Amino acid sequence: MPLAVVLALTLAFLPPPAPGDNLRTESRSPHLHRIPLRDADGQFIPPPAALNEQGTSQEVRANPYSPAQTCGRCHEYEMIGGGWHFNSAKASVNPGRPGEPWILTDTATHTQLPLSYRGWPGTFKPSEIGLTDFDFVTTFARHLPGGGVGEPAKGKIDAKDARMRRLLVTGTMEIDCLICHEMSGHYDHVARFRAMNVENIRWAPSVGAGLGTLGAGRTAKSIADFWKPAGPPPANLPMLKYDRTKLDAENHVTFDVTRKPSANNCYYCHTSDSQIGDARWHSDRDVHIRGGMSCVECHRNGVDHMVVRGYEGETKDRQVSAAMVELRAKLILRDDATISEADARGCAEQQLKDEMSLAETFSCRGCHYGSDAAKDTAAQLGGRLGAPKPLHKGLPPVHLEKLACTACHSGPFPTNAPQIVHTSRAHKLGLPAPVRTANTPPVIVQPVFLRGQDGRIAPHKMVWPSYWGQLKAGKVTPMLPAEVSRKAKEDLPSQSPEEVARDPYYTKPLTNRQIRDVLGALSGDSPNGQPVFVAAGRLFRLVNGKLASEEHDAARPYAWALAHDVRPASQALGARGCSDCHSDDSPVYFAKVTSRGPVESKNRTAREMWAFRGDDRTLASIFAFTFKFRPMLKYIGFASALIVLGVLLSYGFAGLHTWLGHHKHQQDKP
C-alpha cells in the first residue's frame, strides 16, 4: 500500500504534461536518453513490479508507450510530422521528382499497382482505387514509419467510416522514432510487423523496441471487428507485458538512440539490389558507404525532418510553406525572449530559405563540384565531407550538361538488357519469407536510361503496372484484388498446395485463355465500364468475345530515378573510353527493355532504350559508327596542326633571321 500511495501522491503533485520540456544539450556528444515512458494520454507508465506485495511474481502489464508523448516531450513531434517520410498526403507539399511508389501486390489476381499519395504521374492515389487510408496503412505498415495518414487527429477519425473507425480501437500509427534512430541494431522489425498484421498498431512501437510482448491474447483486430462506435469504448484491449529488465529502478528506459542513423537502419526500407538470392555476396554496395559514410551524411534533415532527397534541382521543388514558417517562428520565439512575433516570422522565413539553398549542395554535383545556389561560401566551393572534385579527364564537358552524374556512376553496370532489382518496399525485404527470385512480383528492372525532368539522361528503375480494371471513356479504373477475386473466383487460376510450396509467389504467367475467362466473368459489371486487364505494357480486353490487346497509356511503365549504389570512378560508364556509350551495341542506346508482367512472353513488348527517350535511332547508330573513325580524326587533326605549326615556325624563324640580318646590316653601315 505505501508504495502505491506514494506513487499516486507523487503523480498527483506533478505538473501537468507540457507540450514539450524544451530541454537541449546542444553538444556534439550524444545525450544519454534515459527517460520515462508515457502512454498515448501522456501519462507516465509505471509498470507494476515483478513481485507483488506478497512477494510472488506478477505479470508486468501496462499500456504501451507512445513515441509522440515520450519522444515528443523534448522533440518537436508536430514539426517532425511534416517531414518527407510522413508528409506524402499533404496537398501543400510539392511532390518533387517521381520516386519509388508503394506497390500493391496480390499474387492471386496478379495485381501490381504503383500507389502514391504524392500524385506522381503513373501512380494511383489510394482513394482512386477505393483504398481507404486505414487499408493503405495496414497494407504497408511493414515499412511505414508512422505518422501521415496513419495518424489522423483524434477528432478527425470518421466514426461512420467502417474502416477508418478501426483506428479508434487499434490506435493511430504514431511516428515510430526508433525505427530510424535506434542504434543498437536491436529494433525488432519482424515483431513490429507481426503486431501490425493483427492491427495492434498502438502496441507495435513498444514491441519493435523490445520493451515487451503482447502474448497470444486478443488482438486489436479481433476487437475492432466487433466494436460498434455507438457502444462503449472497448475495455478489453491488450496490455503490453513489459520486459522488466528494460526498466531501471525509477522505471526509466535507456534508449540507445542516435541523431544520425546508420545505413543499416535506412536499409530496412531502402535496400535495393540487383544481386539477388545467393548472388548477394557479390554486391560491393555503395562506394560512399564503403568509404565509411552513412546515408544521412548526404540525406540530411533539420528538426523539420525534410530529408534532402539529393537530386539536382531539388531546391526548386521545395518551397517554404506558411506552415513551416509558422513552426520555425515558434521555435525562434521559444528560444529568443527578446524577439517580436513579426521579426520571428521574418527570421524564420529567411532561415528556411537559406537552408533550402543548401539542399542543392547534397546532390552529387553539389557536393563534388559545389553549388552556386547555396548562400554559404564553403558550400559553393564544393568538397563537402572531403568529396573529391572529379577530374573527368578526356570527357568533353557537354557530357556534364546532357547526363546526370548517376548515368555513369550509379546502379549496376549496364548490360544488353536491364537487370531485375528487388527493393525493400516492393519485395518486403527485411522480413523473413521464402526465397525471392527474379520472377517474384513486382518485377522491377534497372537501369533504364531515361531523360529526367531536367532533360538529363539518368538511370531509372521501371515497373509495369498489372491489374484488372474497367475501361470507360478511354480511362481505366483499377479494381481492387478483393473485388476481382469475389467476382471471378471460379475463373481465376489457383495453385495446388504442391505448387504453392514450389512457387510461393505464384509467378506462373496467365495464359490468354485465362485472361479471357476472367474478363468474361467480370463483364457482368458493364455499367462501370468494359473489363480490361493491364499488364506488361498492354491492355487486354474482349472484342466480340475474343481477346484483343493493344498498347495503352494505362499500361505504360512507371519509372523513377535511381542513384545508388554508386560505383567507383574506375567502374564508371566511360572508364573504358567513348565506346562504352558510343558504339553500336551500347546499352545506353541499344539495350533491349522487355516489358515484364504476369502474361505469356509472346504478349510482352520489347523496346530499345533510345525509344523510351524519344531519341533518333539512325542518329544514334551513325553517331556510334563515327567513333570507329575517331582515332583517324585525331591523327589527321594532330598531323594537320603539326604541319601548320611547322610552317608557322619555319617561316617565323626565317623571317626573324632575315629581320635580324637586316637589322645587323643597318647597324654595320658606316
Judged by the rule CB under 8 A, the positions of this chain that interact with another protein are 390-398, 400-402, 616, 619, 622-623, 626, 630, 633-634, 636-641, 643-645, 647-648, 651, 655, 658
Residue linked to cell 475474343:
546
Cβ–Cβ < 8 Å for 288, 351: no
- Looking at the Cβ atoms of 54 and 618, the one nearer to another protein is 618
Q: H or E stretch including 286? A: none
Contact by Cβ (8 Å): 50, 196: no
In angstroms, give the least distance from the CB of 362 to another protein: 20
User: Omega of the bond prior to 565 within 30 degrees of 0, cis?
Assistant: yes
**Cβ nearer to another protein, comparing 356 with 457:** 457
Omega cis (within 30) before 447: yes
Choose between 222 and 453: whose C-beta lies nearer to another protein.
Answer: 453
User: How many Å apart are CA 467 and CA 473, to the nearest integer?
Assistant: 18
Pick from 283, 248, 250, 325: nearest CA to 82: 325
Instruction: Please identify, using beta-carbon distances, which residue of 528 and 658 lies nearer to another protein.
Output: 658
Shortest Cβ 422–another protein spacing (Å): 35
Q: How far is the CB of 398 from another protein (least distance, A)?
A: 5
Q: Smallest distance, Å, CB 392 to another protein?
A: 5
Q: How far apart are CA 251 and CA 231, in angstroms?
A: 35
Our CB check for another protein shows the closer of 1 and 632 to be 632
3-state secondary structure of 408: helix
Residues 6+ apart with CB under 8 A from 461: 100, 272, 421, 423, 444, 445, 446, 447, 448, 559, 560, 561, 562
- For 34, other C-beta atoms within 10 Å of its C-beta total 11
Residue 381 beta carbon to another protein: minimum distance, rounded to whole angstroms: 13
Q: DSSP for 381-396?
A: H--GGGPPPP--TT--
* Pairing verdict, β 272-273 and 419-423: antiparallel
Which of 97, 135, 102 has its CA nearest to residue 465? 102
Residue (417 or 647) nearer to another protein, CB: 647
DSSP 544: T
Residues shown for the chain: 670
- What does DSSP assign to residue 451? E
What minimum distance in Å lies between the beta carbon of 207 and another protein? 52
HSE on the CB side for 392, CA within 13 Å?
A: 15
Least distance between another protein and beta carbon 647 (Å):
4
Rank residues 9 and 619 by Cβ distance to another protein and give the closer one: 619
Contact 547, 540 (CB under 8 A): yes
Nearer Cβ to another protein (266/400) = 400
Give me the least distance between CB of 94 and another protein, in Å please.
26
Return the number of the residue (592 or 630) whose C-beta is nearest another protein. 630
Question: What amino acid occupies position 604?
Answer: R
What whole-number distance in Å separates Cα of residue 670 and Cα of residue 581? 72
Q: Using CA atoms, how far apart are residues 463 and 582, in angstroms rounded to an integer?
A: 27
- In the bound state with another protein, the residue whose beta carbon lies nearer, of 268 and 369, is 369
Q: How far is the CB of 450 from another protein (least distance, A)?
A: 17
The least CB distance from residue 630 to another protein, in Å, is: 7
- Smallest distance, another protein to C-beta of residue 366, A: 15
CB closer to another protein, 270 vs 365: 365
Give the nearer residue to another protein in terms of CB position, either 383 or 390.
Answer: 390
Please state the closest distance from residue 550 (CB atom) to another protein, in A.
32
Task: Give the span between the Cα atoms of 639 and 49, in whole angstroms.
Answer: 91
Q: Tell me which DSSP letter residue 201 carries.
A: T
Pairing of strands 111-115, 33-36: unpaired
- 299's grid cell: 540525406
Q: Which three cell numbers stand for residue 11?
A: 503523480
